[in-house]
Amino acid sequence: MLALSIACLAAAVGWAYLVLGHGRFWRTGEWLPPLRAEPARWPDVVAVVPARNEAAMLPATLPTLLGQDYPGALSVILVDDCSTDGTAEMAAKIGLEAGRPLRVIAGAPAPGPAGTWAGKVWAMAQGLAAAGEPGYVLFTDADIAWEPGALRDLVTAAVGDDRDLVSQMALLRTATRWERVIVPAFVYFFAQLYPFRRVNRPGSRTAAAAGGCMLVRREALQRAGGLAPISGARIDDVALGRLLKRQPSQRQPSQQQPSQQQPGRTWLGLTTRVISVRPYPALNDLWQMVARSAYIQLGYSPWLLAGTIAGLLFIYVLPPAGAITALAVGAATGPAQLALGAGLAGWALMTLSFLPMLRLYRLSPLRALTLPLIALLYAAMTVDSARRHYAGRGAVWKGRTDQARLRLGPWQMQQQARCGRVSRSRVAGAVTWWPMCSPLFPWRATNSRCSPTAAAWTTASCSAPRWS
């Protein structure tokens, strides 16, 4: 009991730090500032929308982007990333009825060795290349709906505060039972990893962005080398935020030495005006959303995986478990009383820290008490993400599988070879694996070769298999 009481006390101290000293991550107060004076001249904006098999989403989202109440010039480029469901045709149909210019371009194979470019980043790069020279580029997703004045507010904030990047975390859908369980915690954990206040402080090393809404100053992105420096990024939004924040800000005098230059100015916050409409009706759908990128976020490191799971159990599960254990034994001794008090204190702090996020999503505050169980779910999803990686399955998204960094043992190689599931190739000195394009399989790939792919959105090139 003494060891348990000490551990509970350490967890309570940890929660005291997280609540008081970790960038106030739990607060939901990072919003676009009240509108200042609008720009004297509204910059041109080009929105880039990578889309793969999004025909079902576009009718609910693309008209809201094309219908923005923006005084300046706005055009939209949709990059059809090898869709097989009529995404391009649906977008073109919507464009005929829009008041803004819409270009639909077909995604081309990525240059360089297979695996050089992640699929979504390559689609974004193609859109960027077709955008010309606008003042700002808006990177968004095909499942994002926009309220009419959202872009106007973004540009006003970016120009008024001289930001290279202004990003907003889209309000995610919470219509089903499991969405209400998983989604608020998803945003909560993201904010814990990347406290928004630290992201928004130019002198801080913390950098991130939210991929559904990223308004980027084109000149800043050009100075950073475009998207090529993050070509292989599987978590593209965080990578782009880091890239832009590490670049010297344009506002710095040119005579300063590089060592004296301040980093780029970026901003990340919350919104209820940019909304993700993608449904996740069942636990399995949400499980796939988290598991497909969790191990990528950890850099495929088993050590980081072990540390993450241990941290989740220590911070989130230990306090209530310690308090319940102390109550079960009667809490008659000093160590038991300490475990009870410290466990309840830690549980109370984590519960209070979750309340603002639940309020943002208009959910009952009683749900905050279940945060330890939700953390257990996320731990299981993270372990499952690693299991898939080492089992040779990778992460699947819209018919593409991340197998770019799979390490298969000899037995797995023989098994997969007998099943006709993999082909071996050396790319840039590394052994990579991918599904064979064989008519033995139900998807019957139409191309002669499949390329290594990356999690969620990603793929090395448009020569990936097309599912029938």
Tokens of 229: 């420096």
Name the least confident of 217-231, 272-286, 292-306. Answer: 292-306
Does the structure show a pLDDT above 70 at 455?
A: no
Bridge partners (DSSP) of residue 402 are 453
Instruction: Give the residue-averaged pLDDT of 125-152.
Output: 96
Reported as a pLDDT band with limits 50, 70 and 90, residue 250 is low
Residue-wise pLDDT tens digits, 381-400: 999 999 988 887 765 666 66
Q: Within 10 Å of residue 244's Cβ, how many Cβ atoms?
A: 26
Phi, psi of 71 (to 5 degrees): -70, -25
Residue 6: the pLDDT is: 94
Q: In 10 A of CB 377, how many CB atoms? A: 18
pLDDT at site 401: 61
* CA distance between the termini of the chain: 59
**416 pLDDT above the threshold of 90:** no
Tokens encoding 284: 């399995």
Phi-psi region of 82 (alpha: psi -120 to 50; beta: other; left: phi over 0): left
Q: What pLDDT score does 461 carry?
A: 32
- Provide CB contacts within 8 A for 209, sequence distance 6+: 165, 167, 237, 238, 240, 241, 266, 268
Whether 441 contacts 106, CB under 8 Å: no
- Residue 332's pLDDT is what? 72
- The mean per-residue pLDDT over the stretch 261-287 comes to 92
Q: Domain spanning 45-282: which CATH class is it, in words? A: alpha beta
Task: Examine the pLDDT at 174 and tell me if it is beyond 50.
Answer: yes
Q: What's the pLDDT at 318? A: 95
Per-residue pLDDT averaged across 55-62, rounded?
96
Question: CA quadruple 197, 203, 204, 205: dihedral positive or negative?
Answer: positive
Please give the share of the chain, as a percent, with pLDDT higher than 70: 80
CATH 3.90.550.10, the chain: domain bounds: 45-282
Q: Of 69-78, 168-177, 396-405, which range is least confident?
A: 396-405
Confidence of residue 413 (pLDDT cuts 50, 70, 90): very low
User: Is residue 37 very low, low, confident or very high in pLDDT (cuts 50, 70, 90)?
Assistant: confident
Length of the chain: 468
Please check the confidence at residue 307 and state whether its pLDDT lies above 80: yes
Per DSSP, the three-state class of 163 is coil
Contact at 8 Å (CB) between 119 and 460? yes
Q: Which of 275, 103, 84, 47 is nearest to 173 (CA)?
A: 275
Least confident interval from 244-248, 349-353, 385-389: 244-248
In the numeric block, the tokens 């002198």 are attached to: 203
Among the residue ranges 152-166, 199-213, 362-376, 444-458, the one predicted with the least confidence is 444-458
Segment among 97-111, 197-211, 284-298, 453-467 with least mean pLDDT: 453-467
Whether 171 has a pLDDT exceeding 80, the answer reads: yes
Mean pLDDT, rounded, of the chain: 83
How much is the pLDDT for 254? 45
pLDDT of residue 114: 67
CA distance 122 to 382: 26
Q: What is the pLDDT of residues 426-438, one digit of tens each?
A: 233 232 222 222 2
pLDDT average, residue stretch 22-30: 94
Q: Can you tell me the mean pLDDT for 433-460? A: 29
